């Protein structure tokens, strides 16, 4: 007999809710943060190490960027222009680009990029909240914070809030300028992130988002993406979450 634990988000029944309505489910891994922080680049176009993670593998990462001399807006970092952000088995690296001064906010997760995994789907149909209050649940605070009174940002985990749940990590070879299609099997639009390796033939991975030379989009059954570069092929890692873009 299989054993495990499941905690639903506030207002949902753990016995009947959809997978993505769980705050925790031991059948699936959550996207756990290994490192996060802030790094300000110099005006040099040389390679700069943002953080040494030393995980021994290339992990999934997300970086937000604030351009200090252009109004101070914060956006999700994209490939190209002055935002060459790549990762290997040891470091998250900024490659300089145009030598612009940027303030970077980075998140590195324990999930490795180059590992094929697919988890079962028990239920992908949204349920109606039961209307129960938020007075009950589980809260775990970070070290040094009072779990009863601390703000949500200081919690390591809470059943009051959803945590990204991994549905699939798909890896393979992507032919330059040729669309790749990967089925996710969720019957809704899932959140997803794409990474490619060997853009500069140095075994580092970079994130890919919609741009003039690439795209990443999803339907209710598939994720479609492509990347145009100087090489004929690239390794890719596609992370698909159970968490929907919209229900």
pLDDT tens-digit readout, 184-220: 999 999 999 999 987 666 778 988 765 667 888 999 9
Running DSSP on this structure, what letter comes out for residue 16?
T
Q: Which of 50-54, 62-66, 88-92 has the lowest mean pLDDT?
A: 62-66
The CA distance from 212 to 198, in Å, is: 19
Q: Please give the pLDDT value at position 165.
A: 93
β strands within 184-232, DSSP E:
189-197, 205-208, 214-218, 222-227
Question: Does pLDDT of 134 surpass 60?
Answer: no
Integer Cα distance of 195 and 63 in angstroms: 13
- pLDDT band of residue 235 (cuts 50, 70, 90) is very high
Q: Which of 64, 109, 59, 56 is nearest to 87 (CA)?
A: 59
The pTM is what? 0.86
Other CB atoms within 10 Å distance of the CB of residue 111: 22
CATH 2.60.40.10 intervals, the chain:
33-109, 164-246
Is residue 23 over pLDDT 80?
yes
Q: How confident is the model at residue 36 (pLDDT cuts 50, 70, 90)?
A: very high
164-246 fold: Immunoglobulin-like (2.60.40)
**Which one of 2.20.70.10, 3.40.190.10, 2.60.40.10, 3.40.50.300 gives the CATH number of domain 33-109?**
2.60.40.10
């Amino acid at each position: 007999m299989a054993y495990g634990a499941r905690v639903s988000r506030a207002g949902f029944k753990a016995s009947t809710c959809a997978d993505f309505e769980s705050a925790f489910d031991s059948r699936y891994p959550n996207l756990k943060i290994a490192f996060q922080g802030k790094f300000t680049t110099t005006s040099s176009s040389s390679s700069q190490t943002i953080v040494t993670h030393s995980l021994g593998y290339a992990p999934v990462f997300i970086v937000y960027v604030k351009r200090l001399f252009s109004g101070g807006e914060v956006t999700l970092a994209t490939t190209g222009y002055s935002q060459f952000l790549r990762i290997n088995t040891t470091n998250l690296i900024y490659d300089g680009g145009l030598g612009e001064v940027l303030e970077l906010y980075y998140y590195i997760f324990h999930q490795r990029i180059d590992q094929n995994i697919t988890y079962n789907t028990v239920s992908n149909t949204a349920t109606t909240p039961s209307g129960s209050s938020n007075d009950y649940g589980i809260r775990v605070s970070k070290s040094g914070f009072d779990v009863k009174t601390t703000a949500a940002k200081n919690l390591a985990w809470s059943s009051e809030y959803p945590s990204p749940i991994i549905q699939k990590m798909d890896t393979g070879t992507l032919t330059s300028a040729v669309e790749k299609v990967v089925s996710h099997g969720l019957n809704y639009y899932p959140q997803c992130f794409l990474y490619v390796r060997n853009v500069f033939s140095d075994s580092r991975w970079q994130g890919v988002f919609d741009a003039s030379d690439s795209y990443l989009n999803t339907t209710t059954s598939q994720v479609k993406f492509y990347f145009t570069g100087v090489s004929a092929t690239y390794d890719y890692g596609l992370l698909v979450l159970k968490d929907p873009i919209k229900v």
